[in-house]
Structure 1
């Protein structure tokens, strides 16, 4: 590879990482406009393994907006990111795959809700599969997000 191709690959990896991080921040902050903006046209999300829905990103955002009201405090950690950016004839391609683990501690809402109190808490963990495409005007965007929840725990 040339230095130019190497630099382009590094820049793509940084941009892809920014989208994945933006995903976590949007969900934690309840910024459903930002969540929708992370997806390419036709992008889909699948939360069925966590008891959720699958469908177009806009519809899933509506579901998340309602569901996340149960958890007013969220801290979404996405770690161990494995980025696959295929080489296409010596240059980075326009599609990427990311596999990453997540740990998602949340504070359950209730009439007795007090941010200083640490229980009851709900923690879910598992793995994400992200598919991304380079778009002409918005850069890298999600085409698919799949949640593979592996475990959850409720503490009081």
Structure 2
């Protein structure tokens, strides 16, 4: 099912599964009711969410998908928003009450460039990068976006991800 989203982005197909966080009477863990991007933005109540979504949309013109995840890890179960470009996942955003987490995967192709800019990123991101184990030539960075500086770090990592040759 493809829908026109308005000004935030283009949507790709939805994935319906199962899951109880309530947003103004809406259950974010209900796989039968797909939340809108606006509903998710209101749930996060974070201006950084809107800035990140709008910046990604303007800069990369990605496909944006709202998907349901059955992940057993607390905080990652329920609806999430994926940004894809050229068949690659740029990032996945996991909403939570009052904020959100961005998942950015740094793979073998991005590692050298990511490590080159690492000293210029926030201490939080540097510590997170070094604390995240590398598995199968990838680091799955789950970044709590809590400040404009961390948001800029996320955008820099996504730019590297987008620029990496496939």
Q: Structure 1-normalised TM-score?
A: 0.35
Higher RCO structure (Cα 8 Å, ≥6 apart)? 1
TM-score, normalization: structure 2?
0.34
Please identify the structure whose Cα radius of gyration is greater: 1
